[in-house]
Amino acid sequence: MKILVTVKQVPDTSGKVAVNPDGTLNRASMQTIINPDDLNAVEAALALKDELGCKVVAFTMGPPPAEGMLRELMAMGVDEGVLVTAREFGGSDTYATSQILAAAIGTYGVEADDVILAGRQAIDGDTAQVGPQIAEKLHLPQVSYAGEITKEDNALTVKRMLEDGYMTIKVKTPCLVTCVKELNAPRYMNIRGILDAYQQPMTVMTYETLKDHPLIDKETIGLEGSPTNILTSFTPPQKGAGMMLSGADKATTDQLAGILAEKHII
Ligand SMILES: Cc1cc2nc3c(=O)[nH]c(=O)nc-3n(C[C@H](O)[C@H](O)[C@H](O)COP(=O)(O)OP(=O)(O)OC[C@H]3O[C@@H](n4cnc5c(N)ncnc54)[C@H](O)[C@@H]3O)c2cc1C
């Protein structure tokens, strides 16, 4: 058994967000972090590894510096990293991204008792489409919004978090599960892990590695091959400072009514 986790390096949206003229993110000019939901997916994988002794492999599609993020994951306990990187893959939308990641995972190999974990959603693209699309393209069953995962023989029991409750689903392996933050509290890197991180295996998959996979077609990957394109994206202007009125007397309520009338709100 092994657990394959998809992890995206995303811009730290608490800092400045820079956008290229073609609408894609200017990632080079921004600080990056590990996508938060993906840390929950990694923690779930490592907890299953602690319990069952299985191997955990992290996959990321991104520019070469994303290797640093994979090393950070190794310092947490991940056994192997797969960096999927090529100029041909740049600018991919969710359709193309899932196509490429599914090809990479398929090339690595999915066996009968394997589990694929993804975050529910990336904080930059924010679509929550990539995990389910990977499952579809690999013809695997999927469960989204996992808030609890347990494994028994060739099946997982997943507590699926909904807005107003939860649903418990049993799914056979191999399968894909998308994870939400309620699932766990991600662990930190540890000293032993940091020392070992650079000894762990790193596989790089390029366009050359994947080009013969049935899911890889130059017409359906990268910016040119993506069925959706971002036309514009922008950072909304900061709102002005708010106004505080205090007092419960008539003068204050008259003042409030006057301000609202002036703004044509009442
Ligand atoms: C502002 C903005 C708007 C966008 N709007 C759209 C849109 O409407 N339609 C569209 O198709 N694309 C859109 N994109 C492009 C989108 O960022 C990319 O397609 C991206 O590769 C994946 O989509 P996502 O970030 O929404 O991932 P999500 O589907 O939210 O990610 C879910 C999970 O999939 C995995 N995952 C996703 N990407 C990777 C990766 N590169 N490597 C490893 N794991 C990964 C992670 O586990 C992640 O938690 C948009 C991008 C931006 C910046």
The set of protein residues with a Cβ atom below 6 angstroms from ligand 1 is 6-8, 25, 35, 37-38, 59-62, 92-95, 97, 101, 118-119, 121-122, 124-131, 228, 230, 233
Residue 240 tokens read as 């002005």
Q: pLDDT tens digits for the chain (266 residues)?
A: 999 999 999 988 777 777 777 777 777 778 899 999 999 999 999 999 999 999 999 999 999 999 999 999 999 999 999 999 999 999 999 999 999 999 999 999 999 999 999 999 999 889 999 999 999 999 999 999 999 999 999 999 999 999 999 999 999 999 999 999 999 999 999 999 999 999 999 999 999 999 999 999 989 999 999 999 888 877 778 788 888 999 989 999 999 999 999 999 99
For residues 151 and 177, what is the distance between their CA atoms, to the nearest angstrom?
A: 12
Alpha helical stretches, state H, the chain: 36-52, 66-76, 94-108, 130-137, 191-196, 207-210, 222-225, 250-262
Q: Name the fold adopted by 2-225.
A: Rossmann fold (3.40.50)
State the distance from the centre of ligand 1 to the C-alpha of 199, rounded, in angstroms: 30
Which H or E run includes 175?
Answer: strand 175-179
CB burial of residue 93 (10 Å; 0-12, 13-18, 19+): buried
131 CA: nearest ligand 1 atom: 34
At residue 221, the 3 state secondary structure works out as coil
State the distance from the centre of ligand 1 to the C-alpha of 75, rounded, in angstroms: 25
pLDDT the model gives residue 14: 76
Q: Residue 130 has what DSSP assignment?
A: H
pLDDT the model gives residue 238: 79
Top mutation candidate among 38, 39, 88, 94 for ligand 1, by most atoms within 8 Å of CB = 94
State the distance from the centre of ligand 1 to the C-alpha of 227, rounded, in angstroms: 13
Buried b (16+ CB within 10 A) or exposed e, 238-261: eeeeeeeeeeeeeeeeeeeeeeee
The contacts of residue 145 (CB under 8 Å, 6+ apart) are 120, 160, 161, 162, 178, 180
Q: Would you list the domain boundaries of the chain?
A: 2-225
Residue 97 tokens read as 């991204």
Atom 36 of ligand 1, residue of closest alpha carbon: 8
State the distance from the centre of ligand 1 to the C-alpha of 246, rounded, in angstroms: 45
